[in-house]
Homo-oligomer: A and B are copies of this chain.
Amino acid sequence: MSSQSQLDNLRVVLVNPRNPLNIGAAARAMSNFGFFHLRVVNPYELAFREARSAVGASPLLARAEEFMSLAEAIADCTLIVGTTAVGRREPQHLVKRLEQAAPLIRKRLSGSRVALLFGSEKRGLSNEDLSHCHWLLRIPTREDHRSMNLGQAVAVCLYELARDPRAAPPPEKRTAASAADLERITAALLDALRASGYLKSLPTGAPKPRSAAPPDEKIRRLVHRFHLSASDAELLLGILRQILWKTRSANDPES
C-alpha cells in the first residue's frame, strides 16, 4: 500500500454529479482505500444535500469542498487526469488504461497534488472539462459495455491506486506440516486402509508387486498433495487413529 502522505495528495473531483447514492458511494470507497479529499463541482444541489444528510454519511462527505467551476477545483493540482469510457467522441487526448495510469499518478502524488476527475452519470466529462486534463484514464471494461456506475468506477480507480504494486506475498499465517507429521499420517492411513481391507495386508517381507507403485508411495504422495498445516495434520492423525482403533476392534471381537 502507498504511504498515507501520498494518498493525501489526491483530490477526487466529481463534476456535476446528480445521484446522491453515487456521491455517497464515492465517499465510502474513498474512505475504504484511504483517500480523504473530495471535491464536488457544480453538483445538482438537492443530490448533494441528500448525500450529506443521509444516515451514515461519512465525515469525509461533510468535509467535501464545493466549487462552481472545474478550474477552481483543480487550481492547486499539478496533474489533472480525467476518467472516460471513450466510445462516442474521438479523444484528442492520450488515453491510458488504468493499470498503466496508476504508477504515473502515484509517482506524481509523492511530490504534489493530483486531481482525478469523474463526470456526471449520464454524460461523463464534457469537452470543456476534458480540455483541463493532461491525459485521460480508462478502466479496461468490455467493448460492448464500457460505461461503469459512478460509485463502482471510483472504487476501482482508488483500489488500483492504493493496492500494493509489488503485490508482496502475504505473511504466511499457518505453519505447514513437517515431513515427520506427513510420515505419521501416511503410516496411520496405510494401517487404516489395511485394517479396513481396502489394501491387502501383506505379510512382512513378501515380494512387492512389480508394475504399479507400491501402496506406501501412492499414499505418501496423496498425503503430500493435501498441503496440510501442522494443526490440520494433528487433527487428521487423531481421526485416523480413531478409525484404526475402531476398525481393529470390529475385526477382533474379543478386544
Contact = CB atoms under 8 A, between A and B. Distances in A.
A99 B148 contact: no
Interface in A83-114: 94-100
Nearest to A32: B141
Contacts of A96: 170
Contact of A152 (B28, B97, B100): B28
10 contacts: A21-B21, A25-B149, A29-B152, A31-B145, A32-B142, A94-B173, A94-B174, A152-B152, A155-B155, A156-B159
Give the interface SS of chain A, mostly helix, strand, loop or mixed. Answer: mixed
**Most chain-B CB neighbours within 10 Å: which of A94, A140, A153?**
A140
Interface string A142-174: 100111110111011001101110010110011
A38 interface: no
Contacts of A94: 173-174
Interface in A203-232: none
A159 B163 CA distance: 13
Nearest to A91: B173
B31 A164 contact: no
Total copies of the chain: 2
B33 A164 contact: no
Contacts of A25: 149, 151-152
A94 B232 CA distance: 13
A139 interface: yes
Given A28-B152, A152-B28, A1 B140 contact: yes
Contacts of A142: 31-34
B34 A149 contact: no
Interface in A12-44: 21, 25, 28-29, 31-34
Interface string A169-196: 1100110000000000000000000000
Contacts of A156: 155-156, 159
A255 to B, nearest CB: 35
A152 B140 CA distance: 16
A152 B152 CA distance: 5
